[in-house]
């Protein structure tokens, strides 16, 4: 988690953004609490605000699947690592 969030924080700082966050929390398999802890720590380190999130709340994951289908968006159904193939 930290690697991806760190890259987001660095880019947000470089682009002079007000916030950074992650969409990883939409996955029912990801620990949103841990993601937010890491994001908060990186926010302090980089001096840029982190937007705490848990996008799976209120059926967020289900809604993301519905919207992807509705708009014909590509949706990767595995994490991308060699083990999930």
For the stretch 34-73, pLDDT in tens is 999 999 999 999 999 999 999 998 999 999 999 999 999 9
Please tell me the predicted confidence (pLDDT) of residue 35.
96
Q: Is 73 within a domain?
A: no
- Residue ranges making up the domain that contains 31: 2-57
Both ends of the chain: CA-CA distance in Å? 20
Q: Is 84 within a domain?
A: no
- If one counts the domains in the chain, the total is 1
Distances (CA, A) of 12 to 4, 26, 47, 67: 12, 21, 10, 27
- Strand, helix or coil at 27? coil
Q: Is 30 within a domain?
A: yes
Q: Is 26 within a domain?
A: yes
Q: Is 41 within a domain?
A: yes
Residue 20 CA to residue 60 CA, distance in Å, equals 19
pTM across the whole model: 0.79
Q: Is 69 within a domain?
A: no
Q: Is 77 within a domain?
A: no
Q: Is 78 within a domain?
A: no
């Amino acid at each position: 988690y930290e690697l991806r969030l760190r890259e987001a924080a660095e880019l947000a700082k470089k682009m002079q953004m007000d916030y950074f966050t992650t969409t990883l929390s939409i996955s029912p398999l990801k620990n949103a609490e841990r993601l937010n802890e890491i994001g908060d720590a990186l926010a302090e380190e980089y001096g840029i605000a982190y937007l705490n999130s848990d996008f799976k709340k209120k059926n967020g994951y289900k809604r993301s699947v519905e919207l992807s289908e509705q708009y014909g968006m590509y949706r990767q159904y595995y994490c991308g690592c060699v083990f999930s193939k």
